[in-house]
Amino acid sequence: MERKVRVRFAPSPTGPLHIGGVRTALYNYLFAKQHGGDLIFRIEDTDSNRFVPGAEEYIIESFKWLGIKFDEGVSFGGDHGPYRQSERREIYKTYVRQLLDNGRAYIAFDTPEELDAKRAETENFQYDATTRLQMRNSLTMTAEEVEARIAAGEQYVVRFRIEPGEDVHVDDLIRGDVVINSSILDDKVLYKSADELPTYHLANIVDDHLMEVTHVIRGEEWLPSAPLHVLLYRAFGWEDTMPRFAHLPLLLKPVGNGKLSKRDGDKLGFPVFPLEWHDPASGNVSRGYRESGYLPEAVCNFLALLGWNPGGDKELMTLDEMVQLFDLAHCSKNGAKFDYVKGFWFNREYLLRHPVEDWVPEFDRILRAEGIECSAEREATVISLMKDKVIEYAQPDGSVKKRNISFVADLWPLCRFFFEAPTAYDEKTVKKAWRENSRELMTALMDVLRGIDDFSVEGQEQVVHAWIEANGYKMGDVMNAWRLCLVGEGKGPGMYDISAFIGKEETLRRMESALKAL
RNA sequence: GGCGCUUUCGUCUAGCGGCUAGGACACAUGCCUCUCACGCAUGGAACACGGGUUCGAUUCCCGUAGGCGCUACCA
């Protein structure tokens, strides 16, 4: 009988969710929804030393913002709980016991210090079939001695006993048949008596089994330990319900070598976390996609295409469309450099698809921060006039580049002249636009403008156009000089849009100031 | 070092034995124009290398080289 598809995303609460983790979760979501299955949210907090307060809540909040919905798990409920591994101690203990009883695992007393020393003195030391009989464990001690040591309170770990010389196959949905010989695997620690918790490997297999997980979709960094996991399923006798595996390629640095890190984002100017993160230990603040003005649907779309594509030319997709099209077989096998510039483009595309009204709240926040009060209608007017522009931005190396408006916040530096009179006149524009006849032209234009009752765009256009034509002036001569007066430089939307927005009085005032200054 | 994964334009990628090797981002040019732009059009730009298999390899196999990952009582 076909089992219901059940997948999981299982982060460790050791800090903010990395953008690579977001993509992994997204793929799990797409896969689950496509198959009418469940997505489980599990917290893997088996390392008590690395727990970071607030991380779990942060991760939940992130997915809420992104629109990735879980069917069960921590904070979502469900009947396969508890979903926090630290609350499943007793469950793991019975399974560790099982492995111990059937001889697939053994107890080891070697301290971390002893192992470090061993590694230092022996090159390529590995705790495995070739060395375990020289170590301090239940294979080299009598049962009585082991009992006595435990009774005396000595700390120990439980190690998985791996039989060497066997080719272990992992059937990966993305990579096909991956074979690793068991001889190169070490006797992994499955359980530590010190905190009475299992390690990742044991907890992972037990939970996936108990939670009836059918597909494990995770990062490529897990591929080397996948054979160990297969061996564990086998040791427990769960091979018939073992999940299928799919190991995703990693996200790499945009420039240079290595995997994507937080530093890259700081250096190049893009977030690597979904939400702003305040590190409780250091007090450092890391920027997030949400606070940087990204739209959640743009982030999902952008991320989804880093490592997967539907096979054709389609790039802009809603979450639902992606659910329809997603296919693990169409995932790439090699790591993807994080093309954050394309992320700008995605955000622009989605922003443009939103009506101007949706831009207003954030734009209003920005204006208020600048001490400007403005009605929503007037803000919407400015937005619609400016959203097709480009913005200059500084690169880390000091060079200035241009890009399209991709964020609401991009508008402000380009449109401040709507709200503030120019305080200086751009030298290059003066040279280009302020000609011999400009003073005379502007003085005459002021007279014309004074006589206009209907100062709307249409009202002005009618009168000013007629005036230009009647006198045989050149359009460019008038407009460029006028622009210099009102804007202070050579940019912005149509002149009538600007003058109509700031009004007759302010228009004349700015022209007067310009005539004085130039 | 060992083991594994991987390799198409600068970047993300399409391709699943025969194609002028396609798209997108980025870049350049032209058109449009009252400026800066948007938009539109055009352009440059790739199958890592060497062997096989085959009538024919970007595509399949094997090496080499590069990239990435793992190699913890972390996940």
As given in the structure block, the two tokens for residue A405 are: 């408006």
Domain boundary among the residues A180, A198, A216 is at A198
Residues A439, A397, single domain; the answer is no
In the predicted structure, residue A396 carries a pLDDT above the cut 80: no
- Give me the phi and psi of A246, to 5 degrees please: -145, 115
Shared-domain flag, residues A15 and A66: yes
Residues A398 and A478 in one domain: no
Residue A281 in domain: yes
Distance in angstroms: CA A313, C1' B17: 24
- The answer to whether position A348 is within a domain reads yes
- Looking across all nucleic acid strands, the nucleotide with the smallest C1' to CA distance from residue A176 is B5
The ipTM of this complex is 0.96
Among residues A170, A198, A226, the one where a domain terminates is: A198
Kindly state whether residues A128 and A189 are assigned to the same domain: yes
Rounded to whole angstroms, the Cα distance separating A461 from A455 reads: 9
pLDDT confidence bin for A135, thresholds 50/70/90: very high
A62 vs A70: CA distance, rounded Å: 12
Q: Which nucleotide C1' is nearest A312 CA?
A: B14
A433 and A503 co-located in one domain: yes
CATH of the domain at A500: 1.10.10.350
- Three-class SS string for A3-22? CCCEEEECCCCCCCCCHHHH
Q: Which two structure tokens, joined as six digits, stand for A291?
A: 């606070």
Read off the CATH number of the domain in which A287 is found. 3.40.50.620
Q: Residues A270, A327: one domain? A: yes
Catalytic residue among A33, A188, A262, A387: A262
* Residues A155 and A178 occupy one common structural domain: yes
Is-contact A204 A10, C-beta < 8 A?
Answer: yes
A83 part of a folded domain: no
* Residue A296 to residues A178, A303, A351, Cα–Cα distance (Å): 36, 11, 11
Regarding whether A343 and A369 lie in a shared domain, the answer is: no
Question: From CA A40, how far away is CA A63, in angstroms rounded?
Answer: 13
Q: Which of A482, A475, A473, A498 is nearest to A439 (CA)?
A: A482
d(CA A361, CA A129): 65
Distance A254 CA to B25 C1' (A): 13
Strands A336-337 and A189-192: unpaired
Instruction: Determine, yes or no, domain membership for A233.
Output: no
Same domain, A254 and A340: yes
Nearest nucleotide (C1') to alpha carbon of A157: B73
Note down the domain range covering A162: 89-198
pLDDT score recorded for residue A501: 97
Q: Is A387 a catalytic residue?
A: no
In a domain, A238, yes or no: no
What is residue A211's predicted lDDT score, i.e. its pLDDT?
98
Length of chain A: 518
Check whether residue A193 and residue A286 sit in a common domain.
Answer: no
Could you tell me the two tokens for A169? 């196959």
The gap from C-alpha A259 to its chain's centroid, in whole angstroms, comes to 14
pLDDT per position as a tens digit, A266-306: 999 999 999 999 999 899 999 999 999 999 999 999 999 99
> Do residue A123 and residue A168 come from a single domain?
yes
Of all residues in chain A, the percent with pLDDT exceeding 70 is 100
Alpha helices in A35-111 (DSSP H): 55-66, 89-101
Backbone angles phi, psi at A103, to 5 degrees: 75, 10
What's the pTM? 0.95
| Residue A224 within any structural domain of the chain | no
Two tokens, residue A25: 């979760």
Does residue A215 belong to any structural domain of this protein?
A: no
Distance A230 CA to B72 C1' (A): 20
User: Domain check: are A335 and A378 in the same one?
Assistant: no
CB A441 within 8 A of CB A418: no
Establish if A29 belongs to a structural domain.
Answer: yes
Count of structural domains within chain A: 4
Domain end among A376, A403, A419 = A419
Q: Which of A392, A371, A374 is nearest to A383 (CA)?
A: A374
Q: Is the backbone peptide bond immediately before A82 cis, with ω within 30 degrees of 0?
A: yes
Residue A257: pLDDT band (50, 70, 90) is confident
Using the predicted structure, report yes or no on whether residue A1 has a pLDDT greater than 70: no
Confidence of residue A214 (pLDDT cuts 50, 70, 90): very high
**Residue A166 CB-half CA count within 13 A:** 11
- Protein-contacted positions of strand B (CB under 7 Å): 1-8, 10-15, 22-27, 33-39, 67-75
What is the per-residue pLDDT for A401? 87
> Distance in angstroms, CA of A402 to C1' of B22?
28
Distance CA A79, CA A62 (A): 24
Name the DSSP letter for residue A241.
G
pLDDT digits (tens, 9 = 90+) for A405-438: 999 999 999 999 999 999 999 999 999 999 999 9
pLDDT at A313: 87
Rounded (10°) angle between helices A19-34 and A55-66:
50
The secondary structure of A317-348, three-state, reads CCHHHHHHHCCHHHECCCCEECCHHHHHHHHH
> What's A174's domain CATH number?
3.90.800.10
